[in-house]
Amino acid sequence: MKITHALVRFTDDNVQKIVSIKDIKKFHKPIDDKDFSTQKTYMVKWFCDDEDENSDEDTFYSANIILLGSKHVHIIFNFYICM
């Protein structure tokens, strides 16, 4: 399974988002969905959900990775299984 996305929790406000692993600075190409540290803080690009705000800027915030997956559906499924 090729890992393409991550569920992250931003440390400033505990907001959780699914992001492409390409938007995580200095994150290695994971071997599988367990190949990450829950303790490590990564810099993750923030994409604004509000169309009125400028989301073209490269704004990065610290976050922890919760889950890795091959697509959004895989991450959502695993998130609910783990709860």
pLDDT along the chain (83 residues), means of 10: 91 93 94 92 85 64 93 61 51
With vertex at residue 64, the alpha carbon angle to CA 81 and CA 29, rounded to the nearest 5 degrees, is 85
Amino acid present at 37 = S
Backbone angles phi, psi at 50, to 5 degrees: -85, 120
Alpha-carbon gap, residue 52 to 30, rounded angstroms: 34
Say what the pLDDT of residue 52 is: 47
Residue 31 is predicted with a pLDDT of 92
> What's residue 48's pLDDT?
74
The residues with which 18 forms a beta bridge, in sequence order, are 7
pTM of the model: 0.78
Position 71 scores a pLDDT of 72
pLDDT of residue 11: 97
**Structural domain of 66:** 5-82
What total of structural domains would you count in the chain? Answer: 1
Q: What share of the chain is helix, strand, coil (3-state, %, to 5)?
A: 15, 30, 50
Q: How far, in Å, CA of 81 to CA of 32, rounded?
A: 18
The pLDDT assigned to 68 comes to 92
